[in-house]
Amino acid sequence: MKIYHNPRCRKSRETLQIINDKGADVEIIEYLKTPPTESELKEILKKLGINAKDLLRKGETIFKEKYKGNEFTEDEWIKIMIENPTLIERPIVVKGDKAVLGRPPENVKKLV
């Protein structure tokens, strides 16, 4: 199991706590320090069953200033998120061929 984690985010910390409380083995990836590659992000989106645009944090300043109201292709949104990992919704938990967003944190219980 992997968690794409931001330790400064309360929802991310709560999700990690649920995983730890269940005693599951987890690899913690601080995605702001180590952003996913293009292929990793495509795989995550496939496992989540959503489009790149649906994984965006639209409340972030950089989104509002640079991207709001613009149309981009799926591949362009993926590149934008890799270049600006703060735009990736968090936390994301991946286990095998499934993934969930930890919003709310209880979503992770579907995987542990």
Question: Where in the sequence numbering do the catalytic residues fall?
Answer: 9
Helix axes 38-48, 74-83, angle to 10 degrees: 120
Reference 5, options 13, 83, 65, 62; nearest CA is: 13
